[in-house]
Structure 1
Amino acid sequence: MTTETASSLPAPQEPEKTGAPREAKSPRALAWTRRRHSAARFWREYRTHRAGLVGLVALVLIALAAVFAPLLVGADAQSVTQAPGEAMQSPSGEFPLGTDQFGRDLLALLVWGARISLTVGLLAAFLSVAIGTVVGITAGHFRGWYATVIMRVTDWFLVMPTLVLAIALASVMDRSVWTVILAIGVTTWPTTARLVRAQTLAVESRPYIERAQALGGGHGHIMARHVLPNVMPLVLAQTTLVISSAILTEATLAFLGLGDPTVVSWGGLLQDAREAGAVSAGDWWYLAPPGIAIALVALAFTLCGRAVESVLNPRLGVSR
């Protein structure tokens, strides 16, 4: 081909750009995207469980009442010296749930008591689940003599009555909210430890764990990056179930006089009603509201826990 012929040919055109180049996402951005999609998928599945939605709405309403208690019922509702009514009044228009032995509004005390009961239940449950998760993962990962010793300790806690251990621990420590949280947390973890250990054994039998070990992954890397994310759905479902039992245990300890006497809780209200002779006098308005509140919150957390467990493990087939 001559030079003139080559120069007469049209020059090759570059392909038109249809748009700006798409930037590659960082691994952290991809991880957050996956988490958002997982959360959206979880919420879509959770909304199909009517019982779980009822429990969630009830918990949100109770939590809002507890958070805004100073605005709803006043900051002086717990004061004994500034009681607005007479002692042991029956329900009326001024006091819908009556008054206690000091003349305080029982409805206001019930709202204030939600703060302590929910706080103790949540913190004690988180402490219990955290201990059980650590024990279960380490026992399932290391095995050998460590797993044997730690699981025999777990079995000892399982066969011992949880309430008796909590009472013994709370009776030898100062009477405070933190004592109750510690007493419940360190005595209710064995069930979580057993469940997490079984899940850990199942996860570590998968091939990608062997590949991670062959590539030089240490114990901490395998437990934190591979085992923990796989047992977290189980831990989350277990947490919602443990909270209800923690609230019941807190109410029992407060009813037995082992709670903090300076704060108002639902179990403390029941204990005050017993001391005031409400049982023998037939003052039902002093006994029924705290007991009903404890039962409703425990039921709400149980409904939420069953819904969460059904979403995370559809094979359970929990009714909707």
Structure 2
Amino acid sequence: MAETVIADSVVHGASTEARWKKLPLVWQLRQSVGLQRGMLIAGLALCLMFVVMAVLAPVIAPYSFNQLSDDAGSFSRQAPPGEGHPWGTTVGGYDVLSRVLWGAQTALSTVVIAIAASIFVGILLGLISGYLGGWLDRVLVTIADAIYAFPTLLLAIVISIVISGGQSSKWGGIMAAALSITVVFIPQYFRVIRAETVRLKAEPFVESAQVIGASTLRIIFRHVLRNATRSLPLIVTLNASEAILTLAGLGFLGFGIVPTTAAEWGYDLNRAIADVASGIWWTGVFPGLAIVLLVLGVTLVGESLNDLSDPRLRIRRRVTAAAARATEVRP
């Protein structure tokens, strides 16, 4: 009996380990080697750091994003880094460290909502357009091409102006900014999914499903969807960095989230422009550095996944690494 229990435990442990190794992130780490692995790990570490900052902002931030005083009195304006304010204060008297931490929460919330909404709408329209075809396909393609022709930031500004009435609260501002970015990214997912759907609907397994009488919805969401979305992780990571820059651009130009409802790095950079001539560097360096590091982290992950998705590059790097190890072992 004891031997049976031990054997079952070993089998269960082995199956759990096998499932763990098959997770997309773990699989990518196992496939990467050398510099590729270093880039992926560095990108993941930066992204994880900002996720922790965003989640724990209410706990680790010394003050609220719009707090101007404490028990000792009002904060000094443009105070240099020191006791009580490790990263100094802004021209408005806000604590820079707190603004950066709360800004991470604003940035990640906006980007996640925008990317999720873009994926949902883009995939749905791409599947319908690619599979059904006809006049509906021509109309959707024309609209997507027209939207895609606009510069990203300009289109986001126009959408932000149109929906500016819903920014009276923190989450209202985040949703408005996310919607502005969503409209920009929908055509990208639409075009990718539509192209894959057009290719897949001519495959034998789709034709077999049609022959046996499967409904259109079942074919689209059961057979086509899972095969048409394999390249989405690469697009998501690349779009996430663009979404961060778009959000910062909106805030910098004054079309982003209302500053009294949430902290936003782009707005803080705009307010720090006048400080540069006076030698006040801390009000602009830290928000700018946060944008650079977050974009760098997401870009490193995206570029690493893009390289790992190419089997030729992956095999070439693994062969090079194996040859290097063999050279080191050789006396």
TM-score by length of 1: 0.81
How far the C-alpha of 1:110 sits from its partner, in A, is 0.8
How far the C-alpha of 1:105 sits from its partner, in A, is 2.2
How far the C-alpha of 1:215 sits from its partner, in A, is 0.9
- How far apart, in 2, do the equivalents of 1:96 and 1:74 lie? 10
1:114 matched to 2:113? The reply is no
Which residue pairs with 1:233 in the alignment? 230
1:212 matched to 2:209? The reply is yes
* Residue among 121, 140, 144 paired with 1:150: 140
Alignment of 1:245-284 (within 5 A): 245-258=242-255, 259-261=257-259, 262-274=261-273, 277-284=274-281
Which range moved further: 189-198 or 110-119?
Answer: 189-198
- How far apart, in 1, do the equivalents of 2:53 and 2:179 lie? 26
Which residue pairs with 2:31 in the alignment? 45
From the superposition, tell whether residues 220 and 313 of structure 1 become closer, same or farther in structure 2 (CA, over 3 Å). farther
How far the C-alpha of 1:80 sits from its partner, in A, is 2.1
- How far apart, in 2, do the equivalents of 1:88 and 1:94 lie? 13
Which residue pairs with 2:239 in the alignment? 242
How far the C-alpha of 1:312 sits from its partner, in A, is 4.0
Which range moved further: 247-256 or 278-287?
Answer: 278-287
Matched-pair contact (CA < 8 Å) for 1:84–1:104: no
How far the C-alpha of 1:257 sits from its partner, in A, is 1.6
RMSD: 2.7
**How many pairs does the alignment contain?**
289
Which residue pairs with 2:292 in the alignment? 295
* Partner amino acid, structure 2, of 1:278: D
Q: Which runs of 5+ in 2 are unaligned?
A: 5-15, 168-172, 318-331
Which residue pairs with 2:46 in the alignment? 58
How far the C-alpha of 1:309 sits from its partner, in A, is 3.2
- How far apart, in 1, do the equivalents of 2:22 and 2:252 lie? 42
Alignment of 1:139-218 (within 5 A): 139-173=129-163, 174=165, 175=167, 176-218=173-215
TM-score by length of 2: 0.78
How far the C-alpha of 1:92 sits from its partner, in A, is 3.2
Matched-pair contact (CA < 8 Å) for 1:310–1:318: no
> SS state of the match for residue 186, structure 1?
helix
How far the C-alpha of 1:268 sits from its partner, in A, is 2.2
Deviations along 1:246-286, one digit per CA (max 9) or x if unpaired, are 11111111112222222111112113324xx2133232211
* Partner amino acid, structure 2, of 1:52: L
How far the C-alpha of 1:217 sits from its partner, in A, is 1.4
How far the C-alpha of 1:97 sits from its partner, in A, is 2.1
Which residue pairs with 1:127 in the alignment? 117
Matched-pair contact (CA < 8 Å) for 2:69–2:75: no
How far the C-alpha of 1:91 sits from its partner, in A, is 2.6
Percent identity over the alignment is 31
Q: Which runs of 5+ in 1 are unaligned?
A: 1-18, 20-31
Larger-Rg structure: 1
- How far apart, in 1, do the equivalents of 2:177 and 2:308 lie? 32
- How far apart, in 1, do the equivalents of 2:194 and 2:264 lie? 35
> SS state of the match for residue 231, structure 2?
helix
- How far apart, in 1, do the equivalents of 2:209 and 2:28 lie? 29
> SS state of the match for residue 229, structure 2?
helix
From the superposition, tell whether residues 252 and 190 of structure 1 become closer, same or farther in structure 2 (CA, over 3 Å). same
From the superposition, tell whether residues 243 and 311 of structure 1 become closer, same or farther in structure 2 (CA, over 3 Å). same
* Partner amino acid, structure 1, of 2:215: G
- How far apart, in 2, do the equivalents of 1:81 and 1:125 lie? 36
Matched-pair contact (CA < 8 Å) for 1:136–1:196: yes
